[in-house]
Amino acid sequence: MRILITGGAGFVGTSLCIFLKNTYPEYEIIAFDNLKRRGSELNLLDLKDNNIKFLHGDIRNIEDFEIIGDYDVLVEASAEPSVLAGLDSNPDYVVNNNFLGSLNCIKNCLKNNAKLIFLSTSRVYPFDKIENSNFIEEQDRYNFSEHQNETGISRLGVSEALNMQGARSFYGVTKYASELFIQEYIKFYQLQATITRFGVIAGPRQMGKTDQGVVTLWMAKHFWKQSLKYIGYGGLGKQVRDILHINDLMNLIDLQIHDFDKFNGKIYNAGGGLENSLSLRQMTELCENISGNKINVVGENSNRPADLKVFITDNTKIKNEIGWYPKKTSNDVFTDVYLWICKNESKLKNILS
């Protein structure tokens, strides 16, 4: 089998390339990336060490696909992943990369009669519907209330049944537009494709920033004893996200590649779920326990654009229909990130600190 992974030198892409090559050494795994993100240069060495073919190209340029040749499966893992992208500056890059680039991937899949595994995001769900739902405020976090007025939101989180009308950020709308085009190509061009809406993905290799990679950011700040901020919602740090370990994502992609008919034409949520959800305050406590370091954390009242008080993924549909559910805990995620930083301190210091 020949598998093409776009964004192949990124966090998810590199992890997936190495996992697939180690699991199926007879497969040819191709990493395709424009190397725009800082830290991708470190991943190139790991790709080479694992006998993974790297091609320097950009999904925004349809001509760049000509260097690849044919393949059996395309895993679309390339994206500008920041929710803030385009909200305070020109949105051209996020539109060109996340939508037009994905459209090129779709067309190239058809050209090669290849299967498409599209990595989407929980950010396709309109934030006003989530933000205006019913919450419970607890001592160290917020939770969704049991009683909701909006179908698709429950104590377990946000499901695929949520009404999709409303704004969601340029990041979210470009991914949603790609989803819609994939569905059109499935219907009218017989594209073989599956869409998975992932929540917060975390683990080793992720280069943490304020607007993405929160787990790595939190652990890196504790590791190097630097300060942090609780931004928004009164600066209390009670806002919540669910966290999915990269290993659980890779196991799902493995299943999609090798049992594709179960997923063809379908859309699933896949996140850490309620049991792996944490507030920023709880993340701080977990990082203190793992690293042994206590740092200064200050509050900032003003909310960031398109921020959410709570997002938790409801995995009920994929668990019932496929049997997939996350095996790794949030403690596993933070511990693995800590051990990765310890092992690669000298290489990561200039990037993460």
| 236: CATH | 3.40.50.720
Alpha helices in the chain (DSSP H): 11-23, 40-49, 92-95, 101-112, 127-131, 170-189, 214-223, 246-258, 280-291, 316-321, 330-343, 345-352
Tell whether 6 and 108 lie within a shared domain: yes
Residues 6+ apart with CB under 8 A from 42: 347, 351
Tell whether 217 and 68 lie within a shared domain: no
pLDDT at 80: 85
Tell whether 83 and 153 lie within a shared domain: no
- Is the separation of the CB atoms in 43 and 14 below 8 Å? yes
Tell whether 18 and 93 lie within a shared domain: yes
Distance (Å, rounded) from C-alpha 195 to C-alpha 11?
Answer: 19
Tell whether 73 and 174 lie within a shared domain: yes
Say if 188 falls within a structural domain.
yes
Say if 336 falls within a structural domain.
yes
| Distance (Å) of CA 245 to CA 83, 149, 224 | 20, 31, 23
Tell whether 45 and 153 lie within a shared domain: no
Of the candidates 324, 336, 330, 246, the residue with the CA atom closest to the CA atom of residue 284: 330
Tell whether 8 and 56 lie within a shared domain: yes
Distance (Å, rounded) from C-alpha 193 to C-alpha 75?
Answer: 10
Number of domains in the chain: 2
Say if 253 falls within a structural domain.
no
Say if 256 falls within a structural domain.
no
Say if 250 falls within a structural domain.
no
Say if 186 falls within a structural domain.
yes
Taking the chain (353 residues) in runs of 10, the rounded mean pLDDT of each run is 97 97 98 88 92 96 95 95 83 94 97 98 96 97 97 98 96 97 98 97 85 89 96 97 98 98 98 98 98 97 93 98 98 98 93 85
Query: Tell me: the pLDDT tens digits for 257-284?
Result: 999 999 999 999 999 999 999 999 999 9
Tell whether 117 and 137 lie within a shared domain: no
Find the domain containing 26 and state its range: 1-125+168-198
Tell whether 109 and 142 lie within a shared domain: no
Tell whether 303 and 338 lie within a shared domain: yes
Dihedral, CA of residue 29, residue 202, residue 330 and residue 322, to nearest 10:
-50
pLDDT at 210: 60
Structure tokens at 120: 């989407």
Between helices 330-343 and 345-352, what is the axis angle to 10°?
110
pLDDT at 103: 97
Say if 222 falls within a structural domain.
yes
What pTM was estimated for this model as a whole?
0.96
Tell whether 149 and 59 lie within a shared domain: no
pLDDT at 83: 86
pLDDT at 82: 83
Tell whether 234 and 117 lie within a shared domain: no
Given the structure tokens 């800082």, which residue do they identify?
38
pLDDT at 42: 86
| Residue 304 DSSP class | P
Say if 320 falls within a structural domain.
no
